[in-house]
Amino acid sequence: MFTQANLMMSEHFNDSALKTWKSLYSLDTTNANACYFIGQMLLKSPAHKADALPYLQKAAAHVINHYLPDNPYEKNAPPPAYYYLARALHVNYR
């Protein structure tokens, strides 16, 4: 499902990618990588930007510098999670 979600994101099928990321997150709620991608997808949606904040807060708590982007077993988030967290905070007037 990880590969499928990444492919959907690269093809700009954001709604489908979001559903797949949420399915992955429901299997493992400690996965900061899934939170990172869910937050990104929610920030891209016009109606659900504010919903990105809790996911990105969780992702930013588990950022690592040696992030492996194509590894389906990666559980941590990359450093750009801080940027997306800042955007989510801005959208939520915080």
Each residue's pLDDT tens digit in the chain (94 positions)?
899 999 999 999 999 999 999 999 999 999 999 999 999 999 999 889 999 999 999 999 999 999 998 899 999 999 999 999 999 999 999 8
Q: Does residue 57 contact residue 38 with C-beta atoms inside 8 Å?
A: no
Please state the pTM of the whole predicted model. Answer: 0.93
